Structure 1
Amino acid sequence: MAKQFDQINDSHRRFIEAQHMFFCGSAAPDGRVNISPKGMDSLRMLGPNRIVWRNLTGSGNETAGHLARLNRMTLMWCGFEKQPMIMRVYGDANVLHPRDADFASLNALFPTALGARQIYDMRVEMLQTSCGYAVPFFNYAGDRDVLEKWADDKGDAGISTYWDERNRTTIDGMPTHILPENTGDKTNA
């Protein structure tokens, strides 16, 4: 049976910290709904109603484009290894890019990573737990290093070019604001 809470308590925090992966859901008023898996060391809880997570450069940039149009986000964790539970947090989030004032201080909460693209600063309005009894067992084998190697091979200049060519818009053509507006918006290649 689902239970709802108005904040993250200590038990919730322990469950979140024990998970190796979470999912981010976002949607604009129109276009596609996006659900994206996130891993690595990319999430911090900064209080009972605040979560920040760092987004590294990837093939799409849907969440930033969606939040620019409709500021809502859902994060979800599944208990794959031990405790059967599904946990979702619902709220809104500010998008911070490397050029923004608070980006550096929040980025410092995470291990150094080339290609840090955005930090999402989420205000949690509600947390909901449900049983997760149908979620299968999966064993954690470790993090992949493919994205880190890809970013290192590209370097800062290559990542900037990638953002310009591939991350300026969502798959529905919504601007993501990855680069300063004065450079003009382009569509994905």
Structure 2
Amino acid sequence: MGKIHDKLNDRLREFIGAQPVYFIATAPEQGGHVNVSPKGYADTFTILDDTTVAYLDLDGSGVETISHLRQNGRITIMFCAFSGPPNILRLYGTGRVLVPEDPDFSDLIKRFGPHPGVRSIVVVDCDRISDSCGFSVPFMSFDKDRTLLDKWAGRKEVQQRRSYRAKNNRESIDGIPGLSPEETDPVVHHS
């Protein structure tokens, strides 16, 4: 039923590209809360090479993924087929957070669609790529992306976003450091 792959082959790349939603899972080093975040906007995910992927991290209500990655690097990305043949694809690996001040950020940001409210780019080096049956995943239809997050971020002035990030993105719900003060300053970062 399940299979481990040594790389993201053409079939897996096509599967990833066809999914309108993916899920990010991280956890603190010890104890604390495991975090699972759904991600939409197909143009926020890219494959960099056979074992490396990246996704655009947009403003959000918390900073769990960034906090966990900076603490221990562990991450799993999951794609599910809600239409067509059943399949679940999991990308296990080590993630790193690139903020706008990082040297690779300006080149990588070009690989994503236009979105306001960009906090960072998460790059994942996959050490295990596996798929499984997904026989119990229900069929669901995709109507369209919700544009609320982009609209929300687009309405905020720099000072409003600075205050929001300072309040909600400095540490995780378990008190693990997230974005530093200089990283929460949204100096018009837009993909």
Q: Would the TM-score normalized by the shorter structure come out above 0.5? A: yes
When residues 156 and 109 of structure 1 are mapped into structure 2, their CA distance, relative to the original with a 3 A threshold, is: farther
Equivalent residue pairs, number = 182
The equivalent of 1:43 in structure 2 is 45
Cα distance between partner residues in 2 of 1:149 and 1:113: 9
The equivalent of 2:188 in structure 1 is none
Whether 1:61 and 2:63 are equivalent positions in the alignment is yes
- C-alpha displacement of 1:179: 3.2
AA aligned to 1:15 is F
SS of match in other structure, 2:156? helix
Is the 8 Å Cα contact of residues 114 and 155 (structure 1) preserved in structure 2? no
For structure 1, which segment, 132-141 or 170-179, has the greater mean C-alpha deviation from structure 2 after superposition?
170-179
AA aligned to 1:159 is R
The equivalent of 2:23 in structure 1 is 23
The equivalent of 1:187 in structure 2 is none
The equivalent of 2:118 in structure 1 is 116
Cα distance between partner residues in 2 of 1:55 and 1:111: 12
Cα distance between partner residues in 2 of 1:130 and 1:113: 32
AA aligned to 1:66 is H
Cα distance between partner residues in 1 of 2:101 and 2:114: 17
Deviations 1:28-73 (A, max 9, x none): 1121110100011210001111101001001011000001111111
The equivalent of 1:186 in structure 2 is none
Query: Aligned Cα RMSD in Å?
Result: 1.4
Q: TM-score, normalised by structure 2?
A: 0.91
Query: Structure 2: which 5+ runs fail to align?
Result: 186-191
Deviations 1:80-110 (A, max 9, x none): 0112001101110110112222212111211
Give the fraction of aligned pairs with identical amino acids, expressed as a percent: 39
SS of match in other structure, 1:23? strand
Is the 8 Å Cα contact of residues 62 and 170 (structure 1) preserved in structure 2? yes
| 1:32-111 alignment runs, 5 A limit | 32-40=33-41, 41-111=43-113
Cα distance between partner residues in 1 of 2:85 and 2:157: 40
Cα distance between partner residues in 1 of 2:116 and 2:163: 14
Is the 8 Å Cα contact of residues 28 and 70 (structure 1) preserved in structure 2? yes
Cα distance between partner residues in 2 of 1:13 and 1:4: 15
AA aligned to 1:42 is T
- C-alpha displacement of 1:112: 2.3
Cα distance between partner residues in 1 of 2:50 and 2:182: 33
Cα distance between partner residues in 2 of 1:103 and 1:158: 24
Is the 8 Å Cα contact of residues 115 and 156 (structure 1) preserved in structure 2? no
Q: TM-score, normalised by structure 1?
A: 0.92
Deviations 1:137-185 (A, max 9, x none): 000000011011100111333222211111111011111124338x9xx
The equivalent of 2:7 in structure 1 is 7
